[in-house]
Amino acid sequence: MLHAFIGPVMRKEVRQIRRDTRSLVFMILIPAFLLVVFGFALNFDVKHVPLAIVDLEGSRLSRELAEKFRTTEYFEVKATLDRTGDIDDLMAREKIKAALVIPATFSEDLLAGRSPSVQFLLDGANAMSGTTAAGYAASILQSYSQRTTLEALERRGAGGMTLPLATEVRVWYNPELKSARFLLPGLMAFILMVILTTSTAFSIVREKERGTMEQLAVSPLPAAALIVGKLVPYVVISLASAHLVLGLGWVLFGVGIKGNYFLLLLGMVLFLVAGLGQGILISAITRTQQVAFLLSVLTTILPTFILSGFVFPIRNMPTVIQLVTYFVPARYFLVVLRSIILKGAGLPAFWGQMLLLAGFAGSTLALSVALLRTGDGRERRRAGRDA
């Protein structure tokens, strides 16, 4: 019985989408455009940090240490200063972000077996890049310190000495530690959630503003048929948009799909239904497109960007905020995306996230049906009183 109503609603929605070409372009091309813009603009890689070197000794050993910072891609020497007093002015004018100060007694202390006090000054206005740059500097200084320690031991006749611990670091899934590989799945979830929810939120509100919703309310059309009929065309369009985004991610950023494509497709369908269901839920409780747009933005942009794990790790958030993240569908979709695209993991790694995503999608659709039925009942009673 229900399928007899779904077909006509789908055909009506497809005709309406075809007539509204701007909305069609908005749903298909805007996500791809935003992926390109954000993919190149959002970059957490910290390289070529502007650096000043103050070598107060000028010896062979001090120049050797300074050369370690010149030959790495993480720092770019912008100034070689004669005194530390010049650092403050350059850092205040953001000409440099860091400074290496080698003391005048560097070689003397080193050859005498004492630990020379090497300073590394850092602009901490940007805590994220500052922490990363400090880690790079510490690694360079530690490596240099270990080498000079071994050389000193050899000069004292302990040539057979080795360091007690040999560290071998291997990075899985993202060997180059490129932020684009980490950010791209999150960008895909963020963009699709915002665009789809906003677009779908207008669907039923548009019917209300045009007065056709009252006609549908007094007709025998079930609320579930109305929602499914409106949902299916948007799911198909959204899948096309999602694949365009995936293709651009592979072509422009080299982020391909390592895992099972059909599991990824299932995850995308569940996420799209969740986003579209949220949009229909918003349209069911609002009566104007302006209010629907505002609610869509408030319930998608901030939660998806901040509370989904896209940029900020959820485990570092306060417990109360962590509980709120369970109501953000992008949280589950991000785990699925990164597991399949970056790690090539199978279903056992994220089946729980799939179930939660399906539960969110089902609950939003069920709530939308209930609200529309309530609204239909009010419209029918109003129509009966008017008659």
Residue-wise pLDDT tens digits, 321-358: 999 999 999 999 999 998 998 888 889 989 999 999 99
CA-to-CA dists, residue 129 to 47, 95, 132, 133, 327, angstroms: 9, 16, 5, 6, 31
Q: How many domains does the chain have?
A: 2
| Beta bridge mates, 54 | 81, 101
Shared domain for 294 and 195, answered yes or no, is yes
**What range does the domain containing 254 cover?**
2-42+179-386
Shared domain for 122 and 184, answered yes or no, is no
Lowest mean pLDDT among 54-58, 99-103, 228-232: 228-232
pLDDT of residue 152: 66
Shared domain for 324 and 189, answered yes or no, is yes
**Residue 380 or residue 307, greater confidence:** 307
Q: Is 343 exposed, middle or buried (0-12, 13-18, 19+ CB in 10 A)?
A: middle
Lowest mean pLDDT among 17-26, 190-199, 229-238: 17-26
Identify the CATH number of the domain in which residue 125 sits. Answer: 3.40.1710.10
Shared domain for 142 and 260, answered yes or no, is no
Residue 124 pLDDT > 70: yes
Residue 53 pLDDT > 90: yes
| Beta bridge mates, 99 | 52, 121
Tell whether 169 is covered by a domain.
no
Shared domain for 61 and 123, answered yes or no, is yes
Q: Provide the mean pLDDT of the chain.
A: 80
Shared domain for 194 and 92, answered yes or no, is no
Lookup: tokens for 12: 């009506």
